Structure 1
């Protein structure tokens, strides 16, 4: 399978269509099997007690799965999350970025299902696991 969008085109898409969040996120790599996305953890992402907030981890998973889908179908801005589930497994480091390792489990004409494991950079065990379903608008 040939990818419809590579790392550079995905990052350019985010910068153009999601400029309000683009500085916090980046697609690090993309292949047919896996996409790696980064959350540049900053003060705005932290909770008391020195942990990264759940909404920040959720945003990373959502962005990773969304861009993994776009890497296959192209720049369809109106593909939207229709279902999501996240499990917080352990406390992430607050002093390092978070990385989401994402796989597409099913890609249909109207629905796509993906899964992301989120890691604190430098740690082997994931800090969260997320699965999401996206609705893909009909072409035309």
Structure 2
């Protein structure tokens, strides 16, 4: 079983500058926290779309590790679409990935991204990760 600590330690080694952290992970869901930097804000103070997308993709990758029960750096995003529902303003983003389907070669999930209220997502993403190992 992989833990948030395992994922965060791997992130420090491979991508030491990434801001994202894994807060929760199991075989059905994962929670990512993305502290928002000033450079990630658009004019007007809203969080940029690429930052929101990055949070969603990170939560999805954390889920992959939970599904597999181990760190897998070879799993890649096959496709990921996102719907931006409302402007996001705040010091950090949260992204919760929820497993929809786990097959032999792919995983399908939905990711809800929010700022201060999980019941009011600023974006919803859905996609597929390809498993390589």
Match of residue 29, structure 1, among 24, 29, 44: 24
TM-score (norm 2): 0.92
Cα 1:134–1:33 shift into 2, 3 Å: closer
**Structure 1 residues without counterparts, runs of 5 or longer:** none
Aligned equivalent of 1:75: 71
1:90 paired to 2:68 = no
Q: Aligned-residue CA RMSD in angstroms?
A: 1.4
The Cα shift of 1:102 comes to: 1.1
Give the conservation status (yes or no) of the 8 Å contact 2:33–2:55. Answer: yes
Q: What pairs up with 1:125-136 in 2 under 5 angstroms?
A: 125-136=120-131
Structure 1 runs of 4+ aligned residues shifted over 3 Å read none
**Structure 2 residues without counterparts, runs of 5 or longer:** none
Q: What's the CA shift string for 1:88-111, capped at 9, x where partnerless?
A: 000011x32110111111111211
Q: 1: distance between equivalents of 2:85 and 2:117?
A: 16
Cα 1:134–1:117 shift into 2, 3 Å: same
Cα 1:72–1:88 shift into 2, 3 Å: same
TM-score (norm 1): 0.87
